[in-house]
Structure 1
Amino acid sequence: MTHTPVGWHVELEFKEEDDQHTRAAALVRLPDGSEVRAHGRASRHQVDANQPRVGEEIAGARALNDLAMQLLTKAHEEIDSASGRTSHPIHV
């Protein structure tokens, strides 16, 4: 039995709004052609050092976490639709 490799294309973009705020936008393209989008935000306290990379990491992690939750919801909706019963997602 031959398996075709399956992959997801994930994009993550950042926007520095000012010296204290970073936004992240995440997008995953699934093999069926559907897309799921999510966003995250980070705010730096004014007394903290300006470290843009840290803001990107926090905003990016929040966007990816939102993306993960949306993918879990999508998967459970598909399970429910195919099985005719309610599945119970376990949130991590």
Structure 2
Amino acid sequence: METIVGCDIQMEFREIGPLTEAVVRLRMHDGTEMLAQGRANRNPEDPSQPRVGEEIAAARALTNLAHRLIGKAGGDIEEVTHSKAHLLI
């Protein structure tokens, strides 16, 4: 039997001078929420390219989210098995 569930992901960007911040929010189908952040800092001598800063900040936020999810999954496994979980990204 196949089960399909969904989740919602939202991402926001804030630009302050050469700094671009991304915040990603994940809401799982069971209501669990996780937040992660990423930043990109443009060299002041480089030309302004907001999309590039957003791409870098987004990639870092999603990477942070992936690490948080692996950590949470490991903790959930350990609660049930009472053994150390070894999960890799």
**TM over 0.5, yes or no?**
yes
Q: Report the TM-score when normalising by structure 1.
A: 0.91
Tell me how far 1:31 sits from its aligned partner. 1.2
The number of residue pairs the alignment matches comes to 89
Moved over 3 A (4+): none
3-state SS in 2 of match to 1:6: coil
Whether 2:5 is the aligned partner of 1:6: answer yes
Q: What is residue 37 of structure 1 aligned with on the other side?
A: 35
Stretches of structure 1 lacking an aligned partner (at least 5 in a row): none
CA–CA distance in structure 1, aligned partners of residues 62 and 25 of structure 2: 9
**Counterpart residue number, 1:22:** 20
Gaps of 5+ in 2: none
TM-score in terms of structure 2 length: 0.94
RMSD of the TM alignment (CA)?
A: 1.0
- Output the CA distance in 2 between the equivalents of 1:86 and 1:31: 26
One-letter code aligned to 1:10: I
Alpha-carbon distance, 1:47 to partner = 1.5
